[in-house]
Chain A
Amino acid sequence: MKLLGVSINHKTSPIEVREAFHLSRDEIIHFIPLLKERLFTQGIILSTCNRTEIFGLPKSNDVSCNDIIKHIISYKNSHGICADHFKKYFSRNAVKHILSVASGIDSLILGDSQILGQVKEAFQLSEDHNFSGTIMRKIIDTSIRVGKRAIHETELGKGAVTVSYAAVQIIEKIFTSLYTKNALIIGAGETGELAAIHLYDRGVENIFISNRTDERAELLAKKVSGKTVPFEDIKSRLYKFDIIVSATSSEEFILDFDNVKTAMKRRRHNPIVITDIAIPRDVDPKVKKLDNVFYNDIDSLHIIIDDNLRKRKLAIPIVEKIVHEEMSNLFAWYNTLEVVPTIKVIRDFFKKIEKDELEKIKHKVTEEDYHKIEEMTKRLLGRILHNPTIKLRKLAESGTHHEEINEDTMILKELFGLENRPKNGTPKNDDEELN
């Protein structure tokens, strides 16, 4: 398979370089025609915050990975950046890389589930701009299947591996019905935002945001259909909240022991979950001593994350096995493409004979008899062609009997006096014929 591609990702380059080659949706849309014109017949461009991948089937044997690198450097106007940041892939390695990316084992966050959706979106863009084809479609279908199998058959996607998600995991071990709970997010920075979004995604309907600057609080509140609480009112309204996530850059405690103790009294000691993901901490850790106060700081959240990462790492060999299995199936399919034209020619030859002979007797028998004869000839041809078709396909699927395939196809063609086509077939890039 003449698949070529280059990848720039967290393993090959620092963030500044990755940022320089990140392609927005619009940039991809404009880049596709350029690639189609100069390099590829079909392909895919995947660009996320951690990677940019450009893969395709070359228009000619002259196209190389260096050409792809030159084009992307030129397109992004990043001439000062060294080409060594790109990793090059060809044929089996290229397929293996695409499948590994979709599975999540190549992600910065091991087992990241978002990548599967991003691969789908990237391919949809190729489809929308006539940059896809049978082979690329098959590769992407296989990669999506690998991604789904990795999720369902292994532990790769299980458990929280980010601080904000680990916080949600603890909250879910305390409360069952999150939608009835009131959550307060203190600090509307990046971490606070992630926590708010996770809680919103998990069904918490009443989310309140508090920040020193009201504008940022309002902005985040809008994102999660929440409300704001003035920063100076946090302590007096603390008793109303079941879930508190604090992520500010304050140098001192925002909530001390007495604040939480008073709040607990007012809420009749109903449980409260306090997740302190700030460094230095926002809440006095002594609150842990209070009954029904579940306090966790960044260290305790990392216990969960480390354990889940360990489990995910154990899943890598299983995912690699899935990648290997699916690659074998993909290449078996690809190898059958060699015999597709021969099978088609032989079938057409027999169909023509069938048609001619049926035409000869059409007016000599009754309509009812004609249909019976027509049915019988179809069955007859099906049975005659079954074994040769299956044998050719099986030989091709193994991918190791090229000489035998060539010999068999030549014999078949000579025996039936069929026109001699190029033995390795043109159709691998010819969608019309494959379909």
Chain B
Amino acid sequence: MLPIIHILNYLLPFLYILTFYVYYYDFMHENSSFNNAKRIFLFVTLFIHLIYLLIRTAEFNHPPITTKFEIFTVLAFTISFSYFLLELLTDIRGTGLFIIIFSVVFQIISSFYIQDLLVVKEVLRNRLLGLHVISALLGYSGFTIAAVHGVLFLILYKDIKLSKFGLIFNRLPSLETLEKLNFYSVIIGFILLTFSIIIGVIWLPGAFPDFSYYDPKLIATSIIWLIFGIGIATKVIAKWYGKKVIIFSLVGFVLAILSLIIPNIFAKSFHSFY
């Protein structure tokens, strides 16, 4: 199995780059022949990536969440997978390029530095922990996709305001659509993060003797959860629209990224495995 894992590890960055290029080409050329085919490229890449993750889990007897670089490959997968679902559900195809680039970056870093770890802490082999981490990563992927659509919304908004009718104007979907995609991605991200938090709160205290509700990562994640929750509420209840909601989701995204980095660097936590 190891040779297959190694081959797939080096094949995946190329597949993501190829898929990115197909999306890029289609974005630059209206009515390109890739308009329908690009989805197939993404599907094949995701399928091979899923096989890679499953083989890896089986071979090393733990879900690929034990190192940063294992997390990165899962993140590359979850981001593109979440986008793939969104594209299938909404049939809006003009924004994939800006999302798949994240998968390209994560997968390249992962492929370079990932190691074959046979010996890991016993707790990291637990399937519930795997579910907890993967749902959290899917949640953060949702927030990433929301942020990308938010940024695209702001660029298109500015272009229309300044009467700049170039490539962005021609190829992006409408502001209303971008805002909806942003909102739906936030909702999906929020649900998955909620799921992850619930699993964590129920199961983790028993699994970790040094578990604490004052854990910095737990507090930071709860704050993120609260921010996105307030954002959703303002949109649904107060009928906020446009820039305000978008900026709210972007602030949430930036804080989410910081919450992943800062507690790991500055605080000692039962959440730190590597």
Interface size on A, residues (CB 8 A): 23
Indicate whether A300 reaches chain B with its CB closer than 8 angstroms.
yes
> In the complex, are the beta carbons of B156 and A173 less than 8 A apart?
yes
> In the complex, are the beta carbons of A294 and B161 less than 8 A apart?
yes
Indicate whether B272 reaches chain A with its CB closer than 8 angstroms.
no
Indicate whether A399 reaches chain B with its CB closer than 8 angstroms.
no
Convert B193-236 into 0s and 1s, putting 1 for each residue whose CB lies closer than 8 angstroms to a CB of A. Answer: 00000000000000000000000000000000000000000000
Binds A, one of B6-14, B44-52, B238-246, B253-261: B238-246
Indicate whether B54 reaches chain A with its CB closer than 8 angstroms.
no
Which listed residue (A172, A173, A269) contacts B241, Cβ 8 A?
A269
> In the complex, are the beta carbons of B176 and A177 less than 8 A apart?
yes
**Complex Cα gap A296–B156 (Å):** 15
Indicate whether B177 reaches chain A with its CB closer than 8 angstroms.
yes
Convert A256-277 into 0s and 1s, putting 1 for each residue whose CB lies closer than 8 angstroms to a CB of B. Answer: 0000000000001111000000
Indicate whether A307 reaches chain B with its CB closer than 8 angstroms.
yes
Given contacts A269-B241, A271-B175, A292-B242, contact A174 B165 (CB under 8 A): no
**Complex Cα gap A176–B153 (Å):** 14
Q: How many Å from the CB of A199 to the closest CB on chain B?
A: 15
Indicate whether B36 reaches chain A with its CB closer than 8 angstroms.
no
> In the complex, are the beta carbons of A294 and B242 less than 8 A apart?
no
Which listed residue (B174, B180, B239) contacts A174, Cβ 8 A?
B174
Interface residue range, chain B: 10 to 19
> In the complex, are the beta carbons of B160 and A170 less than 8 A apart?
yes
Which listed residue (A155, A174, A299) contacts B160, Cβ 8 A?
A174
The interface residues of chain A, by DSSP majority, are classed as loop
Q: How many Å from the CB of B150 to the closest CB on chain A?
A: 16
Report the nearest A residue to B242, measured CB to CB.
Answer: A292
Given contacts A174-B175, A175-B174, A271-B175, contact A288 B161 (CB under 8 A): yes
> In the complex, are the beta carbons of B163 and A269 less than 8 A apart?
no
**Complex Cα gap A177–B177 (Å):** 9
> In the complex, are the beta carbons of A173 and B169 less than 8 A apart?
yes
Indicate whether A67 reaches chain B with its CB closer than 8 angstroms.
no
**Complex Cα gap A172–B169 (Å):** 11
Convert A154-179 into 0s and 1s, putting 1 for each residue whose CB lies closer than 8 angstroms to a CB of B. Answer: 01001000000000001011111100
Report the nearest B residue to A297, measured CB to CB.
Answer: B163
Residues of chain A within 8 A of B169, CB atoms compared: 173
Convert A62-85 into 0s and 1s, putting 1 for each residue whose CB lies closer than 8 angstroms to a CB of B. Answer: 000000000000000000000000
Indicate whether B130 reaches chain A with its CB closer than 8 angstroms.
no
Indicate whether A303 reaches chain B with its CB closer than 8 angstroms.
yes
Report the nearest A residue to B169, measured CB to CB.
Answer: A173
Residues of chain A within 8 A of B173, CB atoms compared: 176
Q: How many Å from the CB of A311 to the closest CB on chain B?
A: 10
Given contacts A270-B241, A291-B243, A292-B243, contact A172 B174 (CB under 8 A): yes
Convert B130-174 into 0s and 1s, putting 1 for each residue whose CB lies closer than 8 angstroms to a CB of A. Answer: 000000000000000000000000001000110101000100111
Convert B171-194 into 0s and 1s, putting 1 for each residue whose CB lies closer than 8 angstroms to a CB of A. Answer: 011111100100000000000000
The 22 sampled A-B contact pairs (Cβ below 8 Å) are A155-B30, A158-B30, A170-B160, A170-B165, A172-B174, A173-B172, A173-B175, A174-B175, A176-B174, A176-B176, A176-B177, A176-B180, A177-B176, A268-B239, A268-B241, A270-B241, A288-B161, A291-B242, A294-B160, A299-B163, A303-B163, A304-B165
Please give the residue numbers on chain A whose beta carbons come within 8 Å of chain B beta carbons, in ascending order. 155, 158, 170, 172-177, 268-271, 288, 291-292, 294, 296, 299-300, 303-304, 307
Please give the residue numbers on chain B whose beta carbons come within 8 Å of chain A beta carbons, in ascending order. 30, 156, 160-161, 163, 165, 169, 172-177, 180, 239, 241-244
Closest 10 pairs (CB-CB, A-B) = A300-B163, A176-B176, A176-B174, A176-B177, A304-B165, A174-B175, A175-B176, A173-B174, A270-B241, A292-B242
